[in-house]
Amino acid sequence: RVDFRNTVIIMTSNVGAQELQDQRFAGFGGSSEGQDYETIRKTMMKELKSAFRPEFLNRVDDTIVFHKLNKDELKEIVTMMVGKLTSRLSE
């Protein structure tokens, strides 16, 4: 028997990413910083409702919309990953 009490399950999806790209929201390739988070969240929820059945969405307690990583953040991640790869290859 599996017990999910006191458990946090994190699910990710690219649902709505194209919509945000097309609308050029800040954090998703847009040029204006500080785009209203609630506007972005409403767009994402609309996309989620069109992609997933209500029976599934009603079982999800909370939905968090993340902003796209900027170039500096991506560079930092790549640097860390290359460092780990270099370490593994030297073993």
**Would you say the pTM of this structure is higher than 0.95?**
no
Specify the pLDDT at position 52: 94
Mean pLDDT of the chain: 84
Q: What is the per-residue pLDDT across 19-37, written as a single tens digit (0 to 9) for each?
A: 777 776 545 444 454 557 7
Q: How far is CA 82 from the centre of its chain?
A: 23
Confidence of residue 18 (pLDDT cuts 50, 70, 90): confident
List the one residue out of 39, 54, 44, 56 whose CA is nearest residue 13. 44
pLDDT value, residue 64: 86
Rounded-to-integer distance, Cα 48 and Cα 46, Å:
5
